Structure 1
C-alpha cells in the first residue's frame, strides 16, 4: 500500500464528535444509575423478599434476590454474545449503523420507562430483572454500532483522544445525573421533592428521569453522524451470517493472531475492570462500613476521578500508543487493589483513598482498549470486530464474579473477594504483554484508518 500523509487530528469540539460523545453521556443513565448504583440495589432490597429482617428464611430470600439478578444478567450476556458479532457483521456489509443503533437506544429507553411499574413487592421482582436484562442486551447491541462509528469521526492521530473524550463524557454524565437524583429523588439524600419512599416512588421516578435523559442525549448521534457506504452484500439469512462469521474467525486466527490474542486478553482484563465497579459498592458497604448515602457520594467522586484521568489519558494514547496506557493502568490497578486488600480493616478513610486510586486507572484502560481495537481493525470489518469485542467480553464476564465469590466463600470474608478481582486483572496483564501495539500514531498507525479519508 502506498503511504499517505496522516490527516490532521479531528477537532474534539467538532459537531460529529460532540454528537457521538452525547450518546456516551446519555448512556450513563443506564450504566451508572440503573445497573450499578441505584435500581439494581433497589431490586435486591428487603421489600422484594416479602419478609422482615429476623424472619425465618429472610437471609435465604435475600440471597435468592441477588442470585436471581445475577442469573438474569447472565442470560442477557449470553444473548449479547450470540447477537453482537452477527449484527455487527451485517452492519459492516450494509453500512447502516444508525437504524439498528436507534432501535437499540429506543429499547433501552422503553425498558427504563417500564421500570416505573416495578413496585417493591415480591411478585414484581422477576419483571424488574427482565427489564434490566432487556435493557442490557439493547445497550450492548447499540454500543457495537456506537463503537464502530469511532472510525468515521477520528483519524489515526486523534482516535485515542476522541475515544477518551467519549468515555470521559460517560463518567461526567453519570456524575451530573447521580447528583441530581441524589438531591431530589433518592431516599436518604436531601429529598428536595419530599419523602418519596412509599411504594419505591423515588427510585421508580429515577428510572423515568433516566429514560428521558438517554432519549434526549441519544438523539444527536442518530441525526448527525452519517452512515457509510456498504462493503458488500450481507449474508442471506442469520445462519449464513453465522457460517461466514465462523469462517472469518478461523481466518483471523490464521492471518492475524495478534488481533485474536488482543480480543482474548482484553476480555479478561475488561472483566476485571467491570468487577472493580460492580463490586466496589458491595466492598465499600460490607467491608469498609459505608452507608448507602456514602456509597452514592463516593460514586460521584469515583466518576469524577475516572472521567478526568480518562480524558488526560487520551493524549498519552495518541502520543505513545494505547498499549503502554493499558499496561501502566493494569499495573496500577494490581498494585492499588492489593493495597486496598491489605487496608481492609482501615475503615472508610482507607477505601476513600484506595478506591479513588483504583478509579484513576480504570477509565484509561477501558478507553485505550477500545482505541487499540480501532487501530488494529480493518475498516471493512469494524462492526464485526467490535461485535466480537462485545462477545468476548460477555464470554469472560463470569471470571471476576466467580473469583470474587470463590475467595469470599473459602475465606468466609468478603474482603478476600478483592484479591479475586486483583487476580483477574493480573492475568489480563500477563496475557496483554505479548500483544503487539498498533505502531506509532504519528506515522498514521492503525490499519483501520490507513489511507482513509476520515475527517
Structure 2
C-alpha cells in the first residue's frame, strides 16, 4: 500500500563517523532527491490529471450523459451510480495489490505511463457519445468511464509513492500542497476556457466573448459538452510529459511484482489485524469510510441531480463548476481555522454536519418547490442566460455551502488521524487511512443507483447519501481526540 504523502518517515540518521549530508540533500526515503525541476515536474502531473474529475466526473460530461445520452434524467442518474459503483468495487479489490507494488516494486514511472496511455484514448472516445444512446452509446460510455476511473486512481497510487524518493523531508509538505493547488487551478482554468470559447459564444452579447465557438463546435449537437472528453485527454497527454522527462524514478527492485504484492498484502493484513488493539483509531477509520463515501457521492451526483431537476445544460453546468471550484478554496481555509480553533473532532463533526444539512436543503429545492414548500415562479430574476429563477439561485447558494464544508472535511480528516495515531506507527496507520478511502468506494454510488431506480426519483436517489453522512457523523461522536501511545490493554 502506498504511503500517504501527508505523513512520511523521518529522514534516517547518518551513521557515526560519516559526513551528514543534511536534511535538504537527502530524500525522505534516505536516497538522493530529485533536483528542483524534477520535483516541480512531479507536482505538474496533478495539473495534468485533475481536470478530468471536474470536466468528466462532476460538471460537464456526467450531466450530459445522464440527461441526453441516456435521455431520461432519472435512469441516467441510476446508471451513473452503477457505473461508478462497478469502478469503485474494482478499485477496492485491486488497490492493496497495486499499493504493494508501489511500495516494494521499485520503478513507478512505467506504471504511470501505462495508466496514462489507457486514460487518454478512453477520454477521447467520449466525444462519440451521442444523444439518445447514439454513437458509442450508454454501454460504450460505461466501459470507458470504468476504465478511466480505475486507471486514474491507480496512477495516483504510483504518483504519490514517488514523493518520498524525490523530495527532502523539508519539502514534502510544500510539494504535496503544490500538486493539489496546481490540480485545482488547472481544472478551474479549463472550466473557464470551455465556458468562454465553447459555450458562451452565441449566448451573450459580451464584446470579450467570441461570436461563435472555436474549432467549429456546434452547440446544437451538444459538442460543447462532448468536447470535455478530448480536452481532458489532450491536457493529460501534454502535461504528463514533464514527469516522464524530468522526474527521476526509483531503481528497479529485484524482488519482482508478484513477490512485492505478496509481501505488501501480508503487511496490510498484519496492520488491519493490529487495529483491534487500537479501537479508537479503528472507530475513527470506520467513521471516515462512511462519511468519506458520502462526501464523494455528493460531488459525483450533485451536477447530475441539478442537470436533471433544473434542466441545466452545458452553460449552466460550467458556471456552476467555476463558482463551486472558487468557493472550495475557501473550504480549505475554513477547515484549517476550525481545526486550530476547536480541534479536529469538533471540526469534522461541524464539517460533516454542515454537509448533511446542506444536502437535505439541496434536495428540498426544485423548480416548483423551495425547502419542500410549493413555489410559483414569477419569471426570470435577471437577464443572464443561467440561474434565472429563485429556486436555481437558492440551490446554487446551498451547494456553495456544501462545497465549503466538504473541502473542510477533507482537510480535517487528515489532521485527525495525525492527532490520534501512535507516533511510532504513523506511516503504517496513514497507509490504512489511504486504504479506508477506497475500501468501500462502491457503496455510495450503488446506493444512489438502487435508490433512484427503486423510487423512480432523482431526489430520492440523491437523498440516500444522507444515510452514509449521518452514520459517519454518529460514529464520530464515539471517537476520542487522544493519541494512542501503546496498544490498548498494554501496561
Does structure 2 conserve the Cα–Cα contact (< 8 Å) formed by 1:148 and 1:382?
A: no
User: Which residue of the other structure, out of 290, 307, 310, is the alignment partner of 2:332?
Assistant: 310
Does structure 1 conserve the Cα–Cα contact (< 8 Å) formed by 2:112 and 2:159?
A: yes
Partner Cα separation in structure 2 for residue 167 and residue 100 of structure 1: 21
Determine the structure 1 residue equivalent to 2:134: 122
Distance 1:81 1:4, change over 3 A: closer
State the shift of 1:351 in Å.
1.2
State the shift of 1:271 in Å.
1.4
Partner Cα separation in structure 2 for residue 437 and residue 302 of structure 1: 31
The yes-or-no answer on 1:405 pairing with 2:426 is no
The yes-or-no answer on 1:364 pairing with 2:404 is no
1:394 match: secondary structure: coil
The yes-or-no answer on 1:263 pairing with 2:285 is yes
Determine the structure 2 residue equivalent to 1:25: 47
State the shift of 1:65 in Å.
5.1
Partner Cα separation in structure 2 for residue 22 and residue 216 of structure 1: 11
Once structures 1 and 2 are overlaid, which stretch shifts more, 368-377 or 81-90?
A: 368-377
Partner Cα separation in structure 2 for residue 342 and residue 23 of structure 1: 39
The yes-or-no answer on 1:396 pairing with 2:409 is no
Determine the structure 2 residue equivalent to 1:104: 115
Does structure 1 conserve the Cα–Cα contact (< 8 Å) formed by 2:46 and 2:183?
A: yes
Determine the structure 2 residue equivalent to 1:327: 349
Does structure 1 conserve the Cα–Cα contact (< 8 Å) formed by 2:362 and 2:398?
A: yes
1:334 match: secondary structure: helix
Does structure 2 conserve the Cα–Cα contact (< 8 Å) formed by 1:93 and 1:232?
A: no
1:391 match: secondary structure: coil
Does structure 1 conserve the Cα–Cα contact (< 8 Å) formed by 2:39 and 2:175?
A: yes
State the shift of 1:235 in Å.
7.2
The yes-or-no answer on 1:85 pairing with 2:96 is yes
Distance 1:114 1:149, change over 3 A: same
Per-residue CA deviation, residues 370-421 of structure 1 (Å, 9 max, x unaligned), is 5656785957758954662343242433475268638x82xx7644555433
Determine the structure 2 residue equivalent to 1:56: none
The yes-or-no answer on 1:355 pairing with 2:376 is no
Structure 2: runs of 5+ lacking an equivalent: 1-8, 14-22, 29-35, 204-211, 371-390, 486-491
State the shift of 1:129 in Å.
1.7
TM score, norm. by length of structure 1:
0.74
Determine the structure 2 residue equivalent to 1:137: 150
TM score, norm. by length of structure 2:
0.69
Does structure 2 conserve the Cα–Cα contact (< 8 Å) formed by 1:187 and 1:197?
A: no
Does structure 2 conserve the Cα–Cα contact (< 8 Å) formed by 1:188 and 1:293?
A: no
Does structure 2 conserve the Cα–Cα contact (< 8 Å) formed by 1:48 and 1:122?
A: no
Once structures 1 and 2 are overlaid, which stretch shifts more, 182-191 or 108-117?
A: 182-191
Distance 1:46 1:415, change over 3 A: closer
State the shift of 1:330 in Å.
1.4
Distance 1:158 1:240, change over 3 A: closer
Does structure 2 conserve the Cα–Cα contact (< 8 Å) formed by 1:109 and 1:214?
A: yes
Determine the structure 2 residue equivalent to 1:55: none
Structure 1: runs of 5+ lacking an equivalent: 50-58, 446-455
Partner Cα separation in structure 1 for residue 250 and residue 411 of structure 2: 23
Largest Rg, 1 or 2: 2
Partner Cα separation in structure 1 for residue 436 and residue 244 of structure 2: 22
Distance 1:80 1:238, change over 3 A: farther
Per-residue CA deviation, residues 63-101 of structure 1 (Å, 9 max, x unaligned), is 655544443332222221111111101221234333323
Partner Cα separation in structure 1 for residue 112 and residue 236 of structure 2: 13
Partner Cα separation in structure 1 for residue 433 and residue 10 of structure 2: 27
Structure with a larger share of its residues in helix: 1
State the shift of 1:142 in Å.
1.4
The yes-or-no answer on 1:192 pairing with 2:192 is no
Per-residue CA deviation, residues 206-239 of structure 1 (Å, 9 max, x unaligned), is 3222112122333444555555689995674598
State the shift of 1:141 in Å.
0.8
Per-residue CA deviation, residues 137-177 of structure 1 (Å, 9 max, x unaligned), is 00011122334456667899987776555444433322211
Per-residue CA deviation, residues 42-75 of structure 1 (Å, 9 max, x unaligned), is 33444566xxxxxxxxx6xx76555444433322
Does structure 2 conserve the Cα–Cα contact (< 8 Å) formed by 1:160 and 1:371?
A: no
The yes-or-no answer on 1:284 pairing with 2:306 is yes
The yes-or-no answer on 1:71 pairing with 2:79 is no
Distance 1:103 1:395, change over 3 A: same
Partner Cα separation in structure 2 for residue 68 and residue 93 of structure 1: 38
Partner Cα separation in structure 2 for residue 437 and residue 158 of structure 1: 28
Partner Cα separation in structure 2 for residue 325 and residue 153 of structure 1: 33
CA RMSD of aligned residues (A): 4.5
Partner Cα separation in structure 1 for residue 440 and residue 55 of structure 2: 21
Does structure 2 conserve the Cα–Cα contact (< 8 Å) formed by 1:270 and 1:393?
A: no
Partner Cα separation in structure 2 for residue 362 and residue 325 of structure 1: 11
Aligned residues: 423
Partner Cα separation in structure 2 for residue 232 and residue 386 of structure 1: 28
